[in-house]
Structure formats: C-alpha cells, structure tokens
Structure 1
Amino acid sequence: MPRIEIVTGIVLDEVDLDELAQACSVDALWIVERVEAGLLGEVAQPQRFSSAELLRAQRLLAIERDFDANPELAALVVDLIEEVGRLKGRLRAAGIDDK
C-alpha cells in the first residue's frame, strides 16, 4: 500500500520584515541591506513582502551561502532562475513541451 504523507501549512499573502527574516533564519539587517541595494523588494514603509519576495529572499540566501557569492552575484543568478521559470511558463501556455 502506498504511503500517504499529509503536509499542512499556511498560505502567506504578505509578511513583514521580521517575519521574512525569521522565515529565512537571518537577521533583519540582512533583509534591509538587500532591499536598500535594490536586490529584494522595494524601499517603502511599512515594509511588506509578497510570497514571491519570500521565495526570492530564500534563493538569494541559498546562493550566497552555498557558493560564497556576494549579494549582487546572487541576485543575478536568482534573476536568471526567475526568467527561466517565466519562459517555461510561456512555453507551457503555448502548448510547447519545454523538455
């Protein structure tokens, strides 16, 4: 009999600075530095982040940590990952197999 695993969670619409930092296990200053550098979110008060920005922050952190990359290089890599995702979505929408 196949094993069924039930995963529970919540859907996030937006998170604030502290929630984003906690979700990424980083200090809020790490987030602020990337926002001020234009690598994550937009400079606005009060700062709110979408679920897409949460994913971007997690990707930035992983690239910086795993490859010892500086924030700008990590952002470039994440930009490319996001663009590939958008292009694959367009291929699927056009009915073209992306493999």
Structure 2
Amino acid sequence: MSQALSPLDAVLEEHGLTLQQLTSLGEVDLEWVSRHIAEGQLAPQRHGGEWRFSSAMLLRVRRIAALERDFEAVPELAALVADMQEEIDGLRRRLRRAGLE
C-alpha cells in the first residue's frame, strides 16, 4: 500500500523545483549544483529546456552539502554516503510496507 502524496509533494513530483528554488531550499549556490551535476552526483530532469529537480533530489542536495560541510567530506565521498542513505531509506520503506518493521 503506497502512501498518498501531500499536495506540495504532488506538485513537486509533477513539475519539479527550478534551479533557483533548489539552490535556495538546498542552501547551496549555482556553482555547487553545476559542479555536482558535471561530476554525475546529481541528475536533474530536463523540462522545457531547463533543469528540474524532484523533492528526492532536494533531500539528496541537503544530505551531500551537510556531509561536505559538517565532516569536510570530498564531494565523491559525500555522494556515496548519500547513495547509501537513500538505499537504506528505500529498504526501510519496503520493510514497513511488508509489516516487518
């Protein structure tokens, strides 16, 4: 049984965040986002010729930026840790859906 999206999440998933919204909400700058996209650590969607970012991508940006800032992690390591956190979150969701957690 899937959980219903909030109205805000539904809009985000349909339209996504703009680059400006992502930088503001993620508390990062344009250069930071561009560098992480170029290095393959962020994968935005193209929408009408501009990048769009999901709510999951916003969470990823916040995680990577916090790891870089708080632990002085290099971007590649921060992205790897974010990958592992995303995998753990997904496994926990599956356990909850199966009634095992």
TM-score in terms of structure 1 length: 0.80
Q: RCO (CA 8 Å, sep 6+): is it higher in 1 or 2?
A: 2
Give the gaps of 5 or more residues in structure 2: 1-6
The match for 1:82 among 63, 81, 86 is: 86
Structure richer in helix, relative to its length: 2
RMSD between superposed Cα atoms in Å: 1.7
Residues 51-89 of structure 1: CA deviation (Å, up to 9, x unaligned): 110111011100110100011000000011111111111
Give the gaps of 5 or more residues in structure 1: 1-9
1:19 is displaced (CA, Å) by 1.2
Share of identical aligned residues, percent? 43
The 2-side partners of 1:67 and 1:60 are apart by 10
The 1-side partners of 2:74 and 2:8 are apart by 31
Are positions 1:93 and 2:97 aligned together? Answer: yes
Larger Rg: 1
Instruction: Find runs of 4+ consecutive structure 1 residues off by over 3 angstroms.
Output: 42-45
The 2-side partners of 1:53 and 1:72 are apart by 16
TM-score in terms of structure 2 length: 0.79
